[in-house]
Chain A
C-alpha cells in the first residue's frame, strides 16, 4: 500500500520584546538563574498580570503578514496544571478566542509551490526551566524564562512530507525575523517546533490518528523526527496494529521518537477566562497604524524585484528568503543603476532590469557561495553592497574581466577596506586593469597562435574546444587581463 504522510506544525515563536508579557522583568537570554524574575514572575501572593502592548503589536504584525484575521477582541485564559517551573500553577494563554485567526503561508518544495493554511496564532507566556542535573538529587528551578512572550502559530495539517514541513518551518522562521517579531534563535529556544504527524493510505480523505512530537529545536531534527515517526506509524499499521494518539519526544541522539504521554493520561487543563485580564480589544485604528509601520513583506518585495530589477521568479524567491539578503541585493542594484556603467538612458526600465539581473546573479552566485563557504551572515559581509556594485560596474565598463572581478571581491573579503576607492585601488595595485589595446592584444594573439600549432590545427579540423584552449592561453599570457570580447574577435579573424 502507498502511504501519505500528513503533518501539521505548532510553532512557538518567542516575541522580541525587551520585557515580559505580563511583567516588567527583562527577557534577555543567559542571565544568572532567577535574576530576571520579578514578583509577578515568581507569583508572589497578590501580584497581578499586566499585558505588554509590544507583544500584542507583534502578534498583530504577524497576522497582517500572513493575511489573517486580526480578532478585534480576544481573551486570555488560564491553563491550569502543577509543575515546579510554572509558578502560578497556571499558564496564561489564549484559548477559545485567539488574537489571530486564519491566514496562509506559501512554501516551495522542489519546483512545486504550495499554500499552507494557518489555523490560528495566539499569545501566551512561557514557563521557567527545571534543571535536574547538578543538584545532587534535587531539582533547580530557573524562572528567568517564566513570562517570556510567545506567539504560538498553529498550521492546518496541510503538509505531506517532512520536506514540506521543513519548508514551511523555514519560511515561517524567515518571516518572523523579517517582520522583526522574533530573533529566530533556535539554540536559545526562540523558535520551537512541535509536529503533529499521521499517515493514511494514499487517496484516503480521512485523517489518520496523529502523534504530537515535541522538542524539535532544529530543522534537521524536525525532518528526521517526522521521517522516523511516519515510518514507525506505517510499520505499526502494516503489522495490523493501530496508532495510539499520544505525545512523543524526539531523541536526536538515537534518532527516534518515544512516548511521553497518551491521550488517556492527558491532563485536564480546566481552561477558563483569566479574571485578572479584561478581554483584549484591538482597535481598527491601531491595526492600521501597525500596518503602516510594517516593513515590505517578502512576497511583495519579490514581485517588485521581478518587475523593477528584472530578476527571475526563482531569484526573487531566493533573494527574499532573508531580509538582509534582500536589502543587500537592493542596495547593490540601486548603486549599480546609479553608476550606470553601460550608459543606459537615465531612469530607463530596461537599464534598471539589466543591472538588477546582473546583481541578482552576483548575489546568488559569488556572494552566496562565499557566505556559504565561510558560514557568515550577509549582514556581516566584509564586502559592502556598494562595493559589490562597484566591482560589477568596473566589469561592465570592461575595466576588469569577470575573473578579475572575482579577484577584487576575494581580496576585499579577506582584507576589508571600506574606503570609497578601495575597489579601484586594488585594481590598480594588482594591475588587474584589462588589456583592450588592439595592437598589444594582436601581438600576444600572434605569439599564442605560433606557440600552439596543434590547437590551431585541431580547431581548423572542426574542434570548437581547441578555440577555448587558445582563449585560455591568451588569458594566461595576460594574467587574465585581456578583454575577452576582443580576444575572441581577434582569434576568429586570425583563424578564419
Chain B
C-alpha cells in the first residue's frame, strides 16, 4: 500500500481486498511512527479517523462508493474541521476546536474521504520553509536536515514520506507548489475562486487558494474534483458548471505550445535545478510539444508587490486574534490595551509579527498610495503579462523554485533570502492563475527538483493532462525517499 495512488487504493477497496479501516490504520500507524521524525502532523485523532473509515466501509458495502470513498486525506491545519483542533500552526489557536467544517473539508467528507489528521504548517501560512510553525519545523523526508518548503510543509512531507496517500494545502504565494517541489511530490493551486475559502483560515484573502497534494497528476485531479465547487458562503467563490478534472488526462499533448518565459529562466536559479528543468523540457519536446519563448516583463516586480499586498491583508485578517473571544489570551495584564499587547506579543511568532508590522505600515495614512495602491496597479500589470503570454502558448513551463531544499536554519535569519524562494510561484497568485508543481528530477544531493506548470484561467484539466502525459513518459513522481520504505 505504501506507494499506492488514490486510484490504486480505490481499486483495492472496490475489490474488497482491503477495507478503509485497514488503510486508515496503516497510514495512522505510519503517521504516528514516522510523523514524529518529520514532524508532519500537528494533530492526529485515531478515533475520529477510524469512525469515518468505518462509515466509508459501510458505504462501500452498499456499492455507492466514489473515487475518494475510504481514502485517507491529510489536511493542512489551516482548514477548520468540525471537532478537530485547528491551530493554523500558531500558539494563538493552540486550543481552538473548530465548530464547523471548512467547505473544502466538507466536500472531501461528502466524497467519502477520511480525515487522516491535521498537518503542520508555517504559522498562519507565513513562511517558505515550515520553520515558523509554533509546533516546530517539519523535516524534509529526503534529508531531515533540510526544510520541506512551506507553508504547506507538513502536507508535502506527509505525501513524500508516504504517511498519507494525498493531502490538502493552501497556496498564497507558492505554499503548495514550493513545498511540493522541495519535497518531491505533486501539488496544484487552482484558479482563484475554484475552491471556497470558507473555513480556511485567512492569510491574504485575495491570494489564498486551496489545492491538493498527491503523488500523481491523476490523483490531483481526483482530489480536486472533490475540493472544487461553488460555495455561497464565499463571495469570491466562482459559480461554474462542475468539471471533471481528469477528463483530458489521456489526451496526447502533441502540438501543445509550451511557453517559456525568459524571466523564469533568469539568474538566481541553481544549476542543478536548471539542468533538471531542461531535461524535462527535452522530454516535452519528445512528446511533440512546441516550445515558444514568451515574456513576463513585470515578473521582477512580483515579490515586492506580494510583500506589500499579502502583509496588508494579513495585518487586517489577523486582527481578530485579540484574546477576547477565543484562542490564546495572556495570563496577566493590567488593562485592555495591555491585554491586547501581551496576548498578541505572546501568541504570535516573529514572522507573523513582522508581516503584521509591514502590513500595518503600508496601509497607514500617508503611505497607502505609495505602497498598497501602487502594488495593486502593478498586480494588474503582472496579470496582463500573462494574458499576453497565453495568446502565444497553451501552458507556461519553468522551475517552481530557484533552489532545491535548503538547510533548516539556513535562511531563517534572512527574510529577504527566504522571500526570494517564492520568486517563481508568486506571479500566478497575483494573477489568480492556476499553477502546479511536479517532480522532474534531483540535484546532486538527491534533493527533488520541481517543474512548474502555469495555465490560463480555468485550464486545470489541460495542465493536469500535460503533467499526466509527462508522468506517463517518466517516473520521477514515483520515487520515494529511502528512509521511509521501512
Contact = CB atoms under 8 A, between A and B. Distances in A.
Nearest to A76: B235
A43 B325 contact: yes
Contact of B364 (A43, A44, A84, A268): A268
Interface in A66-118: 78, 80, 82, 84, 87-90
Most buried by B among A84, A139, A278: A84
Contacts of A90: 316, 319
A276 B102 contact: no
Nearest to A81: B319
Nearest to B327: A45
A363 B96 CA distance: 63
Nearest to A40: B233
Contact of B324 (A46, A48, A141, A271): A141
A50 B235 contact: yes
A46 B202 contact: yes
Contacts of A80: 315-316, 319, 363
Contact of B80 (A46, A82, A87, A268): A46
Contact of A46 (B199, B326, B340): B199
Contact of B320 (A43, A271, A275): A43
Interface string B76-111: 000110000010100001001011101000000000
A50 B318 CA distance: 19
Main secondary structure of the interface of B (DSSP, over half): loop
Nearest to B86: A45
Given A42-B325, A87-B325, A48 B316 contact: no
B234 interface: yes
B319 A45 contact: no
Contacts of B202: 45-46, 276
A74 to B, nearest CB: 14
Interface string B230-245: 0011111000000000
B339 to A, nearest CB: 9
B320 A87 contact: yes
Contacts of B422: none
B360 A88 contact: no
B312 interface: yes
Interface string B307-323: 00000110110111010
Given A45-B86, A46-B201, A276 B100 contact: no
A84 B198 CA distance: 24
B99 A39 contact: yes
A78 to B, nearest CB: 5
A47 interface: yes
B3 interface: no
B316 A89 contact: yes
B336 interface: yes
B471 interface: no
A49 interface: yes
A23 to B, nearest CB: 10
B459 interface: no
B372 interface: yes
A50 B233 contact: yes
A47 B363 contact: no
A139 B324 CA distance: 11
A39 B234 contact: no
Interface in A264-302: 268, 270-272, 275-278
Contacts of A46: 79-80, 98, 102, 197-202
Nearest to B92: A45
A48 B319 contact: no
B364 to A, nearest CB: 6
B199 A47 contact: yes
A272 B322 contact: no
B235 A78 contact: no
Interface string B327-346: 00000000010001000000
Interface band, chain A: 20 to 34
A95 B229 CA distance: 32
Nearest to A23: B233
B236 A278 contact: yes
Interface in B238-271: none
B235 A272 contact: no
Given A45-B93, A275-B205, A82 B319 contact: yes
A272 B368 CA distance: 9
Contact of B322 (A48, A51, A82, A278): A82
Given A46-B199, A47-B199, A276 B205 contact: yes
Contacts of A277: 235
Contacts of B312: 272
Most buried by B among A45, A49, A268: A45
B17 interface: no
Interface string B365-377: 1001000100000
Given A43-B320, A89-B320, A48 B325 contact: no
B89 to A, nearest CB: 12
A268 B326 CA distance: 26
Contact of B340 (A47, A50, A82): A82
Interface residues of B, number: 43
Contacts of B336: 84, 139
A268 B318 CA distance: 17
A48 B365 contact: no
Most buried by A among B80, B322, B336: B322
B206 interface: yes
Interface string A28-55: 0000000000010011111111110000
Contacts of B325: 42-43, 87, 141
B102 A48 contact: no
Given A39-B99, A45-B93, A87-B325, A50 B232 contact: yes
Interface string A102-143: 000000000000000000000000000000000000010100
A270 B361 CA distance: 9
A173 B313 CA distance: 38
Contacts of A39: 99-100
A278 B315 CA distance: 19
B83 to A, nearest CB: 14
A139 B336 CA distance: 10
Contacts of A275: 204-206, 236, 313
Contacts of B364: 268, 270
Contact of A48 (B86, B235, B363, B372): B235
Contacts of B79: 46
B235 A89 contact: no
A277 B324 CA distance: 25
Nearest to B193: A278
Contacts of A272: 312-313, 316, 363, 368, 372
B235 A45 contact: no
B235 to A, nearest CB: 5
B322 A89 contact: yes
A84 B312 CA distance: 22
Contact of B236 (A82, A139, A276): A276
B102 to A, nearest CB: 6
B94 to A, nearest CB: 13
Contacts of A42: 325-326
Given A268-B364, A270-B363, A272-B368, A48 B80 contact: no
Contacts of A89: 316, 318-320, 322
B316 A270 contact: yes
A139 B312 CA distance: 31
Nearest to A39: B100
Nearest to A88: B320
Interface in A131-157: 139, 141
A50 B197 CA distance: 12
A458 to B, nearest CB: 83
8 contacts: A39-B99, A43-B325, A45-B88, A45-B202, A51-B235, A84-B336, A89-B320, A276-B236
Closest 9 A-B residue pairs measured CB to CB?
A89-B319, A270-B363, A275-B206, A275-B205, A46-B199, A43-B320, A45-B201, A268-B365, A46-B201
Given A44-B326, A272-B312, 8 more contacts: A39-B100, A45-B93, A45-B96, A48-B197, A50-B235, A82-B340, A84-B322, A139-B336
